[in-house]
Amino acid sequence: MSDSSLVEQAKDLRAALLQHDYLYYVLDAPTVPDAEYDRLFRQLQVLEAEHPELQTPDSPTQRIGGRPLPAFGQVNHTVPMLSLNNAFSLDEVTAFDRRCREGLDEPAIDYACEPKFDGLAISLRYENGLFVQGATRGDGTVGEDVTQNLRTVRNIPLRLVGKDIPPRLDVRGEVLMLRADFAQLNVRQRARGEKEFVNPRNAAAGSLRQLDAKITAQRPLRFFAYGVVDVTAVSPAPTFHDEMMNRLASWGFTVAAERAVMRGAAGLAAYYAEMAAARMQLPYDIDGVVYKVNDLDDQVQLGFVSRAPRFAIAHKFPAQEALTTVEAIEVQVGRTGALTPVARLAAVFVGGVTVTNATLHNEAEAQRKDVRVGDTVSVRRAGDVIPEVVAVILEKRPMLGEHSDAPLHPPFALPKYCPVCGSAVEKLEDEAIARCIGGLFCPAQRKQALRHFASRRAMDIDGLGEKIVEQLVDNAIVKTPADLYKMGLTSLANLQRMAEKSATNILAAIEKSKHTTLARFIFALGIRNVGEATAKDLSRYFGNLDALMRASEDQLQQVPDVGPVVAASIAHFFAERHNIEVIEQLRAAGVQWLESEPMALTVAPLVGKAFVLTGTLPTLSREAAKEMIEAQGGKVTGSVSSKTDYVVVGEDAGSKLVKAQELGITLLNENQLKELLAQ
C-alpha cells in the first residue's frame, strides 16, 4: 500500500473513532456496537504501531475518552481516569502475562480479577471521611461534576465508616443499574405511558446526567467500587489490590462479590471461563473481566503507556449473536447530516434485550455485506444501543421463484436526496459516510445546526444553550438560524424555566450577534470540514461572502490549506438552494459584517509571524486581539519559543514574559500592537 493510502486510511480511522467517541461519551447515543469500535480502534493501533510516522497528537489512541457535557461544571481529575487496553483472546492474555513477568523479572504473578461492569465510570473524592465531590470520566483529565446526583445513589457512603479513615481518598468505580431494578423501572415507565429505556447501561448514564437531582433520586442506581487512585495516611498501608478492595468494603463501599486472586495466565483463563459461564446469572450486566497485577508496588514499577496502565487489561467477552429476518431497510439522518441505513428486523431476543433494528453503518458496508429486504441475517449485540448485522445467510435468501436464481429484492442503495428535507446527498471521495448538505434547512440537523450557529466561536449568542435550542425546535418556534432573528419576547418567555429577564437577555444577545465578522459567519454556517482556522483563511482570501459562494472547487483550492475534500464540501454546501435561501434570510434580518475586496493571504502584512498574548490588555479582550492579528495573516500560539516573533504584554503578565525576555523576543504593549497592525 502506498504512503498516501496509509495516511488516508489512518485519517479515516481517526475521524470515525472520534465521531463514535463523541456519540458514546458526550451524547450517550452510540450508533455502533462495542465490537465494531474495538475493531476500528485495534486497526488504528496496528497501523500506527507499524508506521509510527502516522501517529498524531489527536489520535484516539493517544487520548482517554470524550469531552465533558457543558451542562455540568467541570472537575479536574487529580489522577487521570485511564481506559484499559483490551484483550479478545487467550493468546492476548498470555502475552499480557508475559509482558508483566518480563517487566517485573518474576517467574509468576498473582492477579486481582474482577468483573468488567457495563455502566458509567465515576470518581469519588472524600475528605476526612466525608463525600465532597463526584465526577464522570469526561475526557480522562476533565470530567463532569455530578456530585449532587451521586448523593442520591443510596449505596454511595456520604460518610465513611469503620476504622483508620484516611484524610483524603479518591475512589474509582462504576454507576450501574441492576437487571431486576431496570426491569421494574421500565414497568413504571410503561404504566405512566413514558418511553422505556433500552438497556441498564443507558438508563444509568441518562439518570446520572439529569440536571434535576430529584429525577436521579427516583432511579435505582448502584455504585460498585473497583479501585483507589489517591489515599493518604492509611495505617497499615495496603500491599495488594485485593487488600485495598477489602479496606474499601470495610469503609462502607459496595465491591463485586465475584472478585478473586488468580496466579499466572492459567489462573486468568480459569477465571474468565468461570465468569463467562456465570454471566447471565449475575445481578448486573458485564461485558468482560479485568485483570490487575495484585501487588501495588509492582503496579507502580510497571507504570503506564500514554493511554492505559501496563499492569491491567480488560478481557472482553465475545459479542452475542442471533438469527432473524430483515423486514425493511430505512435511512436515518443524524444530527450532523450523516445518512445511516438501518435494518428493521423481526423481533429477536439477543444480548439480554429484544432487538428490532440493527445498524448497517453506511452504504458501502451494507453493499459489502449485501443486506437485502427478506434476508435472514446474523445480528450481534454486546450491550450496545443499536446492534449490527454481522452477515447474511445467503442460502436462506428469498428468490423470485422456486427454480429462479434471481433474488426477490434488489441490492440496497442510498437515496440521492435526503429523505427528511429533499436536499442533495453528498459523499466525498475516500469518505465512507454520505451526508445531507442542507445543513441550515434539514429538520434532522436542526438542533445541531442551531447549537453550532449560536456557539461562542461562531455567532456568540450568549444564553442560547442546548436546552433552550431543544425547546425552540420542539415547539416549532425556530426551524432555521434565520428564525432566531424573528423571535419576540413572548415566544421565549413561554419556554420552560424561562423568566422574562432571561428572555430579554437572549434577545439582546441575538440582536448583538447581527454585527459579526465574515470569518465567524462562515464558521457558523457549519460547513463540513470547515473549522475556525479554515473560515478565517476563506474570509481573508475572498474578502466577501458573495465571492466565496461563487468560487469553484479549483478556485477554493487556491486558498492555503484548502484541499480537494474541503473545497468539495464548500462548493456542495453553496450549491444547495436551501442553504442559500437561509443565508439570504439571515442577511435580510440584518446580520452583517465588514467586507473587503478579495485578497490573497500572501499580501497580508503579518503572514508567517507568530504572536503570544500574556496578561490583561487595557481595552482589548484576548479573543479580540487574536482576531485582529489573524486578520492580518499572523498566528497566535499559546506558548513562547524561539519561533515566537512577538509577545504582546498586558497587566499581570507571568512566566511567558520572563521566557520572552530570556529569549530576546520583541515585546509589544497594546498601543504598539495596534500600530503594527495599522502598517
d(CA 527, CA 535): 9
Q: How deeply is 89 buried, as exposed, middle or buried, from its count of CB atoms within 10 A (0-12, 13-18, 19+)?
A: exposed
DSSP annotation of 352: T
Report CA 215 to chain centroid distance, whole Å: 25
d(CA 291, CA 313): 6
DSSP annotation of 54: G
* Cis amide leading into 236 (omega within 30): yes
Q: Which of 11, 116, 214, 447 is catalytic?
A: 116
Nearest to 621 by CA among 460, 483, 385, 407: 460
Residues whose CB falls within 8 Å of the CB of residue 419, separated by 6 or more in sequence, listed in order = 331, 333
Helix (H) or strand (E) holding 145: none
Which residue is it, cell 442546548? 466
Contact 382, 351 (CB under 8 A): yes
d(CA 271, CA 258): 10
- Region of 671 (left: φ > 0; alpha: ψ -120 to 50; beta: rest) is alpha
38's grid cell: 474495538
Structural Rg of the chain based on CA atoms: 28
Nearest to 31 by CA among 332, 323, 319: 332
Bridge partner residues of 159 (DSSP): 130
Nearest to 262 by CA among 45, 462, 112: 112
d(CA 157, CA 397): 56
Q: Would residue 656 show up in a list of annotated catalytic residues for this protein?
A: no
* Angle at the Cα of 388 from the Cα atoms of 385 and 393, rounded to 5 degrees: 150
Contact 448, 471 (CB under 8 A): no
DSSP annotation of 476: T
Distance between first and last Cα of the chain = 50
* Helix and strand counts by DSSP (H, E) for the chain: 24, 22
Q: How far is CA 569 from CA 339, 368, 446, 536, in A?
A: 16, 26, 19, 16
CA dihedral 238, 242, 243, 249 (to 10 degrees): 120
CA dihedral 27, 30, 36, 37 (to 10 degrees): 10
Contact 670, 650 (CB under 8 A): yes
Residues whose CB falls within 8 Å of the CB of residue 500, separated by 6 or more in sequence, listed in order = 489, 493
Which residues are tagged catalytic?
A: 116
